[in-house]
Amino acid sequence: MAHELQLIKQSSGILIPATPETSDILQSKIKLGAVLVAEFRQVRNPAFHRRFFALLNLGFEYWEPTGGAISANERKLVNGYAKFLAAYGGNESALLDAAEQYLEQIANRRVTNGISLCKSFDAYRAWVTVEAGHYDAIQLPDGTLRKHPRSIAFSSMDEVEFQQLYKSALDVLWRWILSRTFRTQSEAEDAAAQLMSFAG
């Protein structure tokens, strides 16, 4: 039976368990003196992984749903129309701002019509991952395309790819949530680091 083990190389060249799970597998499932065959790959920095989740948690804490279910397609349509009008001589930033205000009005109207909102960290994390560009486009049986977030597991991406995801996720969170509270992205990152240190 194959097991995935996380090991740390010591200065003497000896590999030791990096996690309690790996230690348990080595003690309970592998006999003393057994020869193991392995394919090794260097994994991402676990501290950076924790930093990514601290950033996600910070964004989640500051995010408050402001009104009913405006879909990504509705937002795309309205913003696309604002850009279309801007191409014919309007001020693009003013039109996009007006479009955002319009969408907010629609969202608020939907709330008063009985659409209830709840915050879900899993849905939020999937949204951030997709908005950061880390997704696969999947076609459903009815022909619609859905963006499905790719895994961010250690075995799914290397350090460079994860750093790119972190930067893109920071940009997404800054654009949609964190810029309302913090003056700079680095100030938001500092707050996430403090949140991480409190978590232990």
Per-residue confidence (pLDDT) for residue 20, from 0 to 100: 83
Whether 174 and 188 have beta carbons less than 8 Å apart is answered as yes
CA distances from 177 to 2, 65, 74, 170 (A): 43, 11, 19, 10
Bridge partners of residue 135, in order along the sequence? 149
Predicted confidence pLDDT, tens digits, the chain (200 residues)? 788 888 888 888 898 888 888 889 999 998 999 998 888 877 778 788 889 999 999 999 999 876 456 777 888 999 999 999 999 888 889 999 999 999 888 887 876 766 666 789 999 999 999 999 999 999 999 999 999 999 988 777 888 899 999 999 999 999 999 999 999 999 999 999 888 777 55
d(CA 120, CA 126) in angstroms, rounded, equals: 10
d(CA 40, CA 49) in angstroms, rounded, equals: 20
Per-residue confidence (pLDDT) for residue 155, from 0 to 100: 72
Nearest CA to 104 out of 74, 80, 130 is that of 74
Per-residue confidence (pLDDT) for residue 69, from 0 to 100: 62
Per-residue confidence (pLDDT) for residue 66, from 0 to 100: 62
pTM for the model: 0.60
Whether 65 and 117 have beta carbons less than 8 Å apart is answered as yes
